[in-house]
Structure 1
Amino acid sequence: MKVLVLATFLAISVQLSVQQNYCDLALCPKKGPHIACNGLTTLDTACGSSGREVPMDATNQALILDLHNKLRNTLASGNQTPYPAAAKMPTVQWDKSLADIAAANARRCVYGHDACRNTVAFPSAGQNIASSGWSGMTFTDVQLITKFVNAWYDEYKVANPSYIAKYPNGYSGPDIGHFTQIASDRTDRIGCAMVTFKPTATSNKAIMVCNYGLTNVIDQPVYVSGTACSGCKTGCSKTYPGLCSTSEVVVSKM
């Protein structure tokens, strides 16, 4: 029965992804337009002839998920001073629809958050973005992805546990939102895209966009503190023991 229910859920999810109308105004009731409404399916001319969309193949998906889950596991296990352990931190998994929408942003080769990236399944989707420029050096896709995810998480150094207990309203200090997005126990889905291009003949640039099942929610906890995995209804992950198993059901809604 569990297998049947899971298979049915997956079939419905795939069907929704295929049939989704991103120009539906109901997806962006407070802001818009939706980035994937008539969004880019190939690189914009701003990317130039050297522009390249990094393939989000199984290898890069696994890298992004492992980076996120290792960091979440460290935090959830109470090993990131001064932050408390997390009672029910889920293991993040890949979502194709979130990745496709992230690609519509990244393909612009313009660094910036989009106004709306919601789906029916994720009506309040969150987003992390990163950019890096360089010249006279060479970086692999793995190095860039690793650099960006770690940089987001490193904002823990300027955040504090009070922001975890309740995400601040009207916050104006150093960036913390990328860290809290990674740390959220209310999202278990992520999808990313990355492009590289040459702004000038001698310089290089990379832009990475990751969309998450739920954004940071003002005045609500980023995660519930408690003994690691104590609040997981489906048990702990064998790979990341501070996180819930991948069977944990997470409702990514406000």
Structure 2
Amino acid sequence: MQQWPFVVLSFGLLWLSYCLAIDFCEIKACQGMPHVGCNNSMKFDQGCLRDRRLVKMEMYRSYFLAMHNTYRQRVASGEIGGLPKAQHMPELVWDIYLALVAEYHLKRCLRELNDVCVATDDFPEPAVNYGDDLQARALHLISNMRQVTFLTESWLHEVYQLQSIRTETAPRAIRHIINDRAAHMGCAAGQNYDNWNVRFVLICYYDVDAPRKQNLYTSGDFLESQCTAGRSQRYANLCRTLPKYVQNMSVGEYWPE
């Protein structure tokens, strides 16, 4: 047990170095297109409403993952009527760089980002879900938990609109959420408001979009043999996903038995 402080410290230092490793000005997948994060001041754009507030996503990270993966599990297990089971759908895990790209996007106060790159070193073509709620300003602002729940559920409930698992027939948000090629996600949320209006925005990026004119996932009974890292420890019908920072390390060295 005496080795644990050293292990935790070593892992923490490696994690810190990993977080600082990316240079958004040098993302190869951008192919010369300016990246939304290159030389970014991390400030809200002047086009936003007068007052701005960023939600601390650390408080909601597990909540977002649980909401997404619960629906993935329901689809994969065949619980959603009319949809086939999924053979090897992975659980979603958090990716810090996708979350950072989401924050850059959020602070532009734009629904669509045109003529800018949103790739990361690991994910050249991430997909995005955008949700917002614009209301007249009340005496008290609606809680962040209520807002993120409302917007996330509006995406998730699109699953009940699906008539098939063909990509071209799926609404945009649920297409990203139950795409079995995707295994990583990152989100950002915030408010911008003035004396009259309050706009709450939630943006989530996923590592890859579903391919066109194909199925959202491979149908069939769950096959653990098709899971690279085995079965998920939390979701019986999902494959386990290792975060990128673990995949890029010698896992056994830093997670002793």
Interval of TM-score (by shorter of Structure 1 and Structure 2)? 0.7 to 0.9
The CA distance in 2 between the partners of 1:180 and 1:149, in whole Å, is: 14
RMSD of aligned Cα (Å): 2.9
The CA distance in 1 between the partners of 2:77 and 2:52, in whole Å, is: 40
Q: Give the corresponding residue for 2:22.
A: 20
Q: Give the corresponding residue for 2:179.
A: 184
Which structure has the larger Rg?
Answer: 2
The CA distance in 2 between the partners of 1:160 and 1:11, in whole Å, is: 48
Matched, 1:208 2:211: no
The CA distance in 2 between the partners of 1:220 and 1:9, in whole Å, is: 40
Q: Secondary structure at the match of 2:57?
A: coil
Matched, 1:194 2:195: no
Matched, 1:223 2:217: yes
Q: Give the corresponding residue for 1:92.
A: 92
- The answer (yes or no) to whether the contact 1:234–1:248 under 8 Å persists in 2 is no
Normalised to the residue count of structure 1, the TM-score between the two structures is 0.79
Greater Cα offset, 113-122 or 90-99: 113-122
Change (3 A) 1:130 1:40: farther
Q: Secondary structure at the match of 2:60?
A: helix
- The answer (yes or no) to whether the contact 2:27–2:121 under 8 Å persists in 1 is no
Q: Give the corresponding residue for 1:3.
A: none
Please state how far the C-alpha of 1:220 moved relative to its aligned partner.
Answer: 3.5
- The answer (yes or no) to whether the contact 1:216–1:222 under 8 Å persists in 2 is yes
Please state how far the C-alpha of 1:247 moved relative to its aligned partner.
Answer: 4.4
Greater Cα offset, 102-111 or 218-227: 218-227
Change (3 A) 1:237 1:178: same
- The answer (yes or no) to whether the contact 2:185–2:205 under 8 Å persists in 1 is yes
The CA distance in 2 between the partners of 1:32 and 1:154, in whole Å, is: 35
Greater Cα offset, 13-22 or 48-57: 13-22
Give the AA of the match of 2:36.
I
Greater Cα offset, 179-188 or 210-219: 210-219
Change (3 A) 1:150 1:113: farther
The CA distance in 1 between the partners of 2:215 and 2:41, in whole Å, is: 35
The CA distance in 2 between the partners of 1:143 and 1:229, in whole Å, is: 37
Q: Secondary structure at the match of 1:47?
A: coil
Give the AA of the match of 2:121.
V
Give the AA of the match of 2:124.
P
Give the AA of the match of 2:235.
Y
Q: Give the corresponding residue for 2:162.
A: 159
Greater Cα offset, 184-193 or 232-241: 232-241
- The answer (yes or no) to whether the contact 1:94–1:189 under 8 Å persists in 2 is yes
Give the AA of the match of 1:196.
Q
Aligned length: 232
Q: Where does the alignment leave 5 or more consecutive residues of structure 2 unmatched?
A: 1-9, 248-257
Give the AA of the match of 2:143.
T
Greater Cα offset, 215-224 or 62-71: 215-224
- The answer (yes or no) to whether the contact 1:35–1:117 under 8 Å persists in 2 is yes
Normalised to the residue count of structure 2, the TM-score between the two structures is 0.78
Give the AA of the match of 2:23.
N
Q: Give the corresponding residue for 1:68.
A: 68
Change (3 A) 1:204 1:116: same
Give the AA of the match of 2:214.
Q
